Amino acid sequence: MASTAPMELPPSDVGVMVLDNKEKVRKFSFDFIEMLIRMKWMASPASLFLMRPFMRKDSHQMFKSFVIPLIIFLTETRKKDENHLLYDAPAAMMFYGNMSDPADPYIAATYATLAAESLGLGSCMIGSVGTFLKYTGKNFRKKYGLPEKMRDSIIVILAIRN
């Protein structure tokens, strides 16, 4: 369903990376969190203070109220071997775009969630990964076969309903 979702003018350049088991989902999650740990200094209060004159007010507020707390939370839960990024889902799909309309990956992901629900699967969209990978993570993107320049992306996690 996602591949035939109505997006912009064809052909769409939306790609998808599939993590087809819990172990791959966990590895992706922990690799991502390790990347965040290495760049944690960039999201520290001191760095944020120094960057403030160069940031829009809404970007500064997002860093202060979302990015920094998210990095701290994911770092702390990773130390406990807990996966609060993708929740050890049995499968995940990352939809991403290069030159496409920024909405296209979200449209494809929406169709994927509808298809999953129609098959009796649970699904959830996770947007935080794409926010980071849009601006950083060159080696991480290369490791997972993601394009060097990604504009927008979103992850859909899937699970069997109980």
pLDDT (tens digit per residue) in 98-152:
887 889 999 999 999 999 999 999 999 999 999 889 888 899 999 999 998 888 9
The yes-or-no verdict on residue 58 having pLDDT over 70 is yes
Within 9-86, residue ranges assigned H as helices are: 22-38, 45-51, 57-62, 68-79
Identify the pLDDT of residue 10.
Answer: 67
13-22+88-160: CATH topology is NADH Oxidase (3.40.109)
CA–CA gap between residue 111 and residue 95 (Å, rounded): 11
Of 41-45, 69-73, 104-108, 133-137, give the lowest mean pLDDT range. Answer: 41-45
Q: With 90 as the cut, is the pLDDT of residue 17 above it? A: yes
Q: Domain ranges in the chain? A: 13-22+88-160
